[in-house]
């Protein structure tokens, strides 16, 4: 077995404290603009320079939803819930590293969001390892021993019925503690997450990459007396060990009636020994830009060729010129110009942050 990458894929947090009144005013104004324009509106916090798009709607019980390639920021005034929720994006953590990502995020909370001290707790953390050398089979499901009462395999139904069954993964548990084992190669091909291949480096491109991912939510973390960000990050290897040594395992069948007494599969012994080492790569940002360009090009190709067919324009140059005239007419009917729309969207563009050390604003007491 060859481990290609490991680390933290999801990190969701809740922050308690008194939010600055100016923040509520800023977000209320931005959300109102978003509803009038029927489009998310940009806001930028001046001290840290962190930019977001404020959506026209909130998220569940929170009134305001701010999104960026770095992280999601969700705010609300309900006394039943923490006023601020933070969800770090996987690309962000892998671009700048988990420590740097947290440093930049907490600078925003400290300088721009809260009026005084606040408390930050982890509500969910997903720990993963990507590997090659073991490709699970459907029959392996009966060889797993787990404390979970909920287990299921998931397959691509089209492949089952058209080209034969191809396993895409297993899932054990749900809710507060769950473990997923799945073919990551299929997922990234579907979602276009091309930057993950840079993490994998020298892996065999002709073979699938499988991921084992353990999800821990607040209730389970509390059972381990874990809540704060620092103590949970310091316990990542312990959480991995618990998930792969105590909570579930893969066994080699024998005649013994108790499956927990079956011997451990050598493959699982290797998985248990994996060292979780969060990885950062400087090419994540470039890969995200490339993926965005590809998605836009695919969409443009589809619409442009359909419109050209509708207007009987088989030649590319003539079709694009015709589409340009139609686009100008459409924008003029709305009192807009193409150049203005491009500038407006340029102002709204945001990419994964990749700040260098020293870019972070110093603390109010000057301690850095």
pLDDT in tens, 194-239: 677 777 877 788 888 999 999 999 999 999 999 899 999 999 999 9
Lowest-pLDDT choice from 223-232, 273-282, 297-306, 345-354: 345-354
Rounded CA-CA distance 257/255 in Å is 6
HSE-CB of 7 using CA atoms within 13 angstroms: 22
Residue numbers of the domain that contains 322? 284-348
Task: Identify the pLDDT of residue 300.
Answer: 78
Domain count, the chain: 3
pLDDT band at 299 (very low <50, low <70, confident <90, very high): low
Question: What b/e string do you get for 159-184 counting C-beta neighbours within 10 Å, with b at 16 or more?
Answer: eeeeeeeebbbbbbbeeebbbbbbbb
* Average pLDDT over the chain, rounded to an integer: 82
Task: Identify the pLDDT of residue 234.
Answer: 92
Asked if 135 and 248 sit in the same domain, the reply is: yes
Domain stop point among 272, 305, 338? 272
In a domain, 307, yes or no: yes
Place of tokens 């569940």: 60
Asked if 84 and 138 sit in the same domain, the reply is: no
- Residues 6 or more apart whose CB falls under 8 angstroms from that of 263 comprise 251, 252, 254
Length of the chain: 368
Asked if 205 and 264 sit in the same domain, the reply is: yes
Lowest-pLDDT choice from 47-51, 198-202, 239-243, 316-320: 198-202
Asked if 247 and 156 sit in the same domain, the reply is: yes
In a domain, 24, yes or no: yes
- Residues 6 or more apart whose CB falls under 8 angstroms from that of 55 comprise 31, 34, 40, 65, 66, 67
Asked if 193 and 265 sit in the same domain, the reply is: yes
Q: Select the more confidently predicted residue: 295 or 87.
A: 87
pLDDT band at 174 (very low <50, low <70, confident <90, very high): confident
Rounded CA-CA distance 257/329 in Å is 76
Question: What number is the average pLDDT over the span 289-296?
Answer: 55
Asked if 111 and 140 sit in the same domain, the reply is: no
Query: What residue ranges in 156-274 does DSSP mark as E strands?
Result: 167-174, 177-183, 210-217, 248-250
On the question of pLDDT at 24 being above 90, the answer is yes
Most confident of 99-113, 187-201, 329-343: 99-113
| Secondary structure class of 214 (helix, strand, coil) | strand
On the question of pLDDT at 304 being above 70, the answer is yes
Rounded CA-CA distance 99/103 in Å is 6
Asked if 174 and 302 sit in the same domain, the reply is: no
Asked if 342 and 309 sit in the same domain, the reply is: yes
Domain stop point among 244, 272, 300? 272
In a domain, 360, yes or no: no
As a whole-number percent, the residues of the chain with pLDDT over 90 amount to 44
Closest CA relative to residue 76, chosen from 67, 87, 86, 63: 63
| Secondary structure class of 100 (helix, strand, coil) | helix
Asked if 62 and 192 sit in the same domain, the reply is: no
In a domain, 186, yes or no: yes
Question: What number is the average pLDDT over the span 140-166?
Answer: 55
Please say whether the dihedral angle defined by the alpha carbons of residues 239, 242, 245 and 251, taken in this order, is positive or negative.
negative
Bridge partners, 119 (sequence order): 16
pLDDT in tens, 54-88: 999 999 899 999 998 889 999 999 989 999 999 99
pLDDT band at 37 (very low <50, low <70, confident <90, very high): confident
Asked if 141 and 203 sit in the same domain, the reply is: yes
Asked if 143 and 177 sit in the same domain, the reply is: yes
Asked if 109 and 133 sit in the same domain, the reply is: no
Question: What b/e string do you get for 220-257 counting C-beta neighbours within 10 Å, with b at 16 or more?
Answer: bbeeeebbebeebbebbeebbbbbbeebbbbbeeeeee
In a domain, 364, yes or no: no
In a domain, 240, yes or no: yes
3-state helix, strand, coil in the chain (%, to 5): 40, 25, 35
H/E element holding 333? helix 316-333
Rounded CA-CA distance 21/29 in Å is 13
Q: Select the more confidently predicted residue: 341 or 105.
A: 105
Rounded CA-CA distance 134/156 in Å is 20
- Residues 6 or more apart whose CB falls under 8 angstroms from that of 249 comprise 144, 145, 146, 264, 265, 268, 272
């Amino acid at each position: 077995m060859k481990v290609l990458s490991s680390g933290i894929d999801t990190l969701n947090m809740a922050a308690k404290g008194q939010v600055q009144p100016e923040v509520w005013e800023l977000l209320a104004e931005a959300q109102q603009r978003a509803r009038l324009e029927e489009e998310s509106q940009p806001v930028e916090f001046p001290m840290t320079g962190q930019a977001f798009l404020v959506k026209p709607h909130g998220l569940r019980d929170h009134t305001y939803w701010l999104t960026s390639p770095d992280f999601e920021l969700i705010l609300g005034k309900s006394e039943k819930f923490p006023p601020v929720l933070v969800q770090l994006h996987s690309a962000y953590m892998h671009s700048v590293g988990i420590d740097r990502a947290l440093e930049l995020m907490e600078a925003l909370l400290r300088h721009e969001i809260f009026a005084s001290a606040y408390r930050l707790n982890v509500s969910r953390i997903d720990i993963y390892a990507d590997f090659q050398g073991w490709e699970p089979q459907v029959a392996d499901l009966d060889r797993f021993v787990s404390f979970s009462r909920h287990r299921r395999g998931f397959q691509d139904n089209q492949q089952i019925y058209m080209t034969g069954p191809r396993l895409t993964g297993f899932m054990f548990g749900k809710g507060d503690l769950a473990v997923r084992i799945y073919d990551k190669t299929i997922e990234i091909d579907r979602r276009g997450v091309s930057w993950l291949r840079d993490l994998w480096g020298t892996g065999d491109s002709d073979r699938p990459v499988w991921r084992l991912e353990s999800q821990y939510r607040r209730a389970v973390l509390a059972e381990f007396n874990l809540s704060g960000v620092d103590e949970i990050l310091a316990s990542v290897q312990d959480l991995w060990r618990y998930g792969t040594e105590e909570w579930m395992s893969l066994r080699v069948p024998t005649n013994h009636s108790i499956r927990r007494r079956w011997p451990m599969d050598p493959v699982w012994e290797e998985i248990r020994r994996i060292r979780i080492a969060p990885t950062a790569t400087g090419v994540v940002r470039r890969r995200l830009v490339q993926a965005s360009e590809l998605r836009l090009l695919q969409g443009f190709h589809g619409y442009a060729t359909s419109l050209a067919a509708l207007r009987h324009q088989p030649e590319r140059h003539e079709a694009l010129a015709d589409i340009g005239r139609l686009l100008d007419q459409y924008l003029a009917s709305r009192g807009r110009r193409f150049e203005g729309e491009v500038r407006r969207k340029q102002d709204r563009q945001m990419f994964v942050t990749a700040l260098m050390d020293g870019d972070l604003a110093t603390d109010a007491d000057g301690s850095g």
